[in-house]
Each structure stands twice: as structure tokens, then as C-alpha cells.
Amino acid sequence: MVGPRMPQFVLFGSSIVQFSYIHQGWGAILSHLYSRKADIVLRGYTGWNSRRALQVLEEIFPKNATEQPSLVIVYFGGNDSLLPHPSGLGQHVPLQEYIENMRKIAIHLQSLSKKTHLIFLTAPPVNEDQIFQERLMQGIMQGPQLRTNESCRIYSEACLELCRQMNIKAIDLWSAIQKRDDWRDVCFTDGIHLTSEGSKIVAKEILKVLEEADWEPSLHWKSMPIVYGEDSPYDPLDPAGKATRNVSSWTFLPSVKEWE
């Protein structure tokens, strides 16, 4: 690794994680806000379910690593919640197995170190009409539509209940996104994956949890120290060409106030 060492935040999940840097995604938002404060590490794998994640969990998060993450944000459920395919193949994972898979993932991550904190994201809603239109545009005229909003709800509630049992921070994305009246129109690129508007909701929910958590030290971006944040004679001069200005904490997100 390169120095200086900073806290490590790992985003672990399926395509909602892998694509979190496009369309001004929630991963990109976190990376910007935590620049010079924490390293945001992307471990997203399109198409994966909790069953697949368990197969490589110890490779991605080895217990003997010299440095363990301070935070792991976990998302699996959207693919698990697909209805079973008539062939018996595909991404569907039965609900009880999904719950046990997520429990095993949580137990392993909790065992990494005392400083490793967890946030689980539930399955977000989907826009079934938009998914259908996308299928038509791609020429997919046959086969059942296996992804339903009701199934997402069931798996979302199961994840929340597991997190309550295990005292894990959880974010109910299924409900949070649907609080916006126009969520069907503005939150998805294809009925499943998130636009910038959908990602803003995810980022705000994550930041809210981090601000309210009673973790020591705090992992909220406004509370964390800035690497090389000390004053320097090489800082930029003010417009009059006299006093220097320490710009180490500058952020350039549009309307950065919405994240504070």
C-alpha cells in the first residue's frame, strides 16, 4: 500500500456497488467527501448474490491482513430476491438461505477486528415497468420477468430484521428511495441500477448513519482529520498576495452544503 495510512472503507456487494462510481454515484460521492481522510475501496461484483459472495469472503477479507477496514458497507439482496427461474438456475437464493448467508458474512466481518464497523444496505425497490421497457428495447420478448418490487420488499425486511438481531447498522433503501414521490421516474437508469438522484439518496442515508453512530473515533467525514492538513508556507496566497490560505479541506461537490 501507499502512505500515509488512512482508515479504509470497503464497499462490498453486487452491481449497485460496482456501478457506484458512474452517473455521479454514491461511491464517487463518498470518495470525494472522504478524500484525504479515508481510502474508499471498491469490491463490487455485477450479478453476484450472497451465495457467491460467501465463496470468496475470506479471500476478499482475510483475517490475517496487516490492516483491517474501519468500515464495510455490504449490499446483497437485489439478485437473491429474483423469483426462481423455471430451469432452477440463475441468481435466486431462497429467503432463509439468504438470511443465513448474510449472517455468516456479518459474523466473518465482525471477527476481523474490534475497529471494523458494518453497515448493511437492503435491496432497493425496482421499477417493473421500466425493466419491462428495457427488455423490449433489448429484444428480450420471451421469458418471465423475475425481478419484482414485492420480492425486493420481502428480502429488504429480512435483512433489516437480521441486522436488528445482530445489532448491525442497516439502511432500508427499499423505503428510503420510495419516499420520493417521483422515484420511479428519476432514480433508475434501467429500472434496477441507480441514477445520480438515486445515488444521492443512498449517500445521504449512509452519511446520516455515520453521523449518528456512537463510534469512537467517529467515521463521519466532517469529524475525521485531514491528512497533511497543517498550515504551510507553500499554501496559496490570498487575492491580495499576502496571507496564505489552507485549502486542504476544500470540497467542490455541487451544493456541498447538502452533505454537511
Q: Which residues are catalytic?
A: 14, 190, 193
Q: What is the separation, in whole angstroms, between the first and last Cα of the chain?
A: 30
d(CA 157, CA 169) in angstroms, rounded, equals 14
Residue 169 burial (10 A CB sphere; 0-12, 13-18, 19+)? middle
**Angle, CA of 157, 171 and 19, to the nearest 5°:** 105
Beta 117-121 vs 8-13: how paired, if at all? Answer: unpaired
Cβ–Cβ under 8 Å, residues 188 and 126: yes
Residue type, 4: P
* The amino acid at 215: W
Written in H, E and C, the secondary structure of 9-38 is EEEEECHHHHCCCCCCCHHHHHHHHCCCCC
Cβ atoms 46, 233 nearer than 8 A: no
